[in-house]
Amino acid sequence: KNEVEQSPQNLTAQEGEFITINCSYSVGISALHWLQQHPGGGIVSLFMLSSGKKKHGRLIATINIQEKHSSLHITASHPRDSAVYICAAHPMYSGGGADGLTFGKGTHLIIQP
Amino acid sequence: KAGVTQTPRYLIKTRGQQVTLSCSPISGHRSVSWYQQTPGQGLQFLFEYFSETQRNKGNFPGRFSGRQFSNSRSEMNVSTLELGDSALYLCASSLVMSRWDSPLHFGNGTRLTVT
């Protein structure tokens, strides 16, 4: 069974700071998702990656398959980045019918002006 | 293009009742997956449907079931509701079965309260 751990659980930072959220998982995966959830519940998929690094605006996601670790970075953070960030690991397809995502508990990020 | 639509947004039910939630995927998307989110357990995978067939199922009791119609719309049903079923239920759609090359698009969820 895949275990997905996120750190930190809570993070408060000042506007403009560089933010790093970490995610580690215990078994081989085919892809890892980074999700953003604002109050009210809606979830937005930020990144889906299986290797290397992806960048979108001020957000950067990296993954190290050998170390079973991924990071989400936010550069020049802004109060509108305040949200819960969740990583989710997609297992290697086994054909066993239980290949759904396993989620981390989320990181509550607050960016203060 | 319209996003993923879930109905209803809010629902209050009594223990022992059953409930049906609906999810309309983005047009052209054939895969729909369902998730339960609670403060204690976080997000958990319920099941995934593709081409009207359940392809994957999470670790939930048989009281939780679902189906997908030929137009890709999906419903999930929870029978004999328990207090612990109170949660935000989210669905997501993707073009093909949820894989490494198929981004997920989430709906806004249905918040179910069981009293």
Q: Does B12 touch chain A (CB under 8 A)?
A: no
Q: Does B60 touch chain A (CB under 8 A)?
A: no
**Residue B13, beta-bridge partner list:** B114
Q: What is the pLDDT along chain B (115 residues), one digit of tens a residue?
A: 789 999 999 999 999 999 999 999 999 999 999 999 999 999 999 999 998 999 888 999 999 999 999 999 999 999 999 999 999 999 999 887 656 567 889 999 999 999 9
Which parts of chain A register pLDDT below 50? 95-98
C-alpha A52/C-alpha A32 separation (Å) is: 11
Q: Does B94 touch chain A (CB under 8 A)?
A: no
CB atoms within 10 A of CB A100: 23
pLDDT in tens, A18-41: 999 999 998 888 889 999 999 877
Q: Does A39 touch chain B (CB under 8 A)?
A: no
CB atoms within 10 A of CB A39: 8
Residues with Cβ within 8 Å of A57's Cβ and at least 6 positions away in sequence, in order, are: none
| Cβ <8 Å between A88 and B43 | yes
Tallying the residues shown for chain A, one arrives at 113
Residues in A closer than 8 angstroms to B43, CB to CB, are: 86, 88, 101, 103, 106
